[in-house]
């Protein structure tokens, strides 16, 4: 899938579920719960043991239903492993130019992490069409609104402490989507097998996003 197709799908869905530190046994149950809740983009972070194998498994089973990406990718070497595993988008908490260029070479969407206008422009100049504003919870929705003023050409994903309480504020401020971790794929819920609660939370985020886009 071409990078621009993936970008459009991320913008259409508005929500990327972040899966971190889970077991391979729970992964499919989490994914099923998210799909049932209407979420169709997921990232497995590379500080999760067995992340590349998990991505491969998701691609085999769910690539017709979900966008599958890799998160916490810090360098080009890790990006290559993720791409070989089948990831269609690569997120990083930081700005690494080599990672952007490697992803672009293989038409895989890079989503580098930025927290300043200079980093956002640097990412854009090196080929990134969307950036991950991180840590969004610290910077706040108004920060994204300020960034989007002079940098309206750059799509922005809010990541970091995004909750159902502030999600709408980030989207209204100009974020095209949000990466959501613990507020959606909660570790305790997974350990207790409460996957229906994950579905319930997913529906809340999806409904909130759809309502904003309809107005």
- Distance separating alpha carbons of residues 79 and 162, to the nearest angstrom: 25
DSSP 36-62: HTT--EEEEETTSTTHHHHHHHHHHHH
Q: ∠ at Cα 131 (176, 88), nearest 5°?
A: 85
pLDDT digits (tens, 9 = 90+) for 158-188: 999 999 999 999 999 999 999 999 999 999 9
* Residues noted as catalytic: 43, 132
pTM given for the model: 0.96
Kindly give the interhelix angle for 76-84 and 97-105, rounded to the nearest 10 degrees.
Answer: 30
- pLDDT at position 171 is 98
1 pLDDT more than 90? no
CATH code at 3-214:
3.20.20.70
Half-sphere exposure of 188 (CA within 13 A, CB side): 2
- pLDDT at position 215 is 82
pLDDT digits (tens, 9 = 90+) for 53-110: 999 999 999 999 999 999 999 999 999 999 999 999 999 999 999 999 999 999 999 9
For range 129-153, the mean pLDDT: 98
Alpha carbon 4 to its chain centroid, in Å, reads: 15
């Amino acid at each position: 899938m071409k990078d621009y197709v993936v970008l459009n799908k991320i913008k259409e869905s508005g929500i990327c579920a972040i899966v971190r530190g889970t077991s391979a046994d729970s992964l499919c149950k989490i994914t099923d719960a998210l799909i049932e809740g209407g979420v169709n983009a997921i990232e497995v972070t590379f500080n999760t043991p067995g992340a590349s194998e998990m991505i491969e498994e998701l691609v085999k089973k769910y690539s017709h239903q979900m966008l599958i990406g890799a998160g916490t990718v810090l360098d080009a070497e890790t990006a290559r492993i993720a791409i070989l595993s089948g990831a269609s988008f690569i997120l990083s908490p930081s700005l690494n130019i080599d990672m952007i260029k490697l992803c672009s070479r293989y038409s895989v969407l890079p989503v580098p992490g930025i927290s300043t206008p200079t980093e956002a422009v640097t990412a854009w100049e090196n080929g990134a069409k969307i950036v991950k504003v991180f840590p969004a919870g610290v910077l706040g929705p108004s920060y994204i609104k300020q960034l989007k003023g002079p940098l309206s050409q750059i799509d922005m994903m809010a990541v970091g402490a995004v909750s159902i309480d502030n999600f709408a504020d980030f989207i209204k401020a100009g974020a095209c989507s949000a990466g959501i971790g613990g507020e959606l794929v909660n570790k305790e819920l997974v350990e207790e097998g409460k996957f229906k609660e994950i579905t319930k939370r997913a529906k809340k985020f999806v409904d909130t996003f759809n309502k904003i886009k309809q107005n």
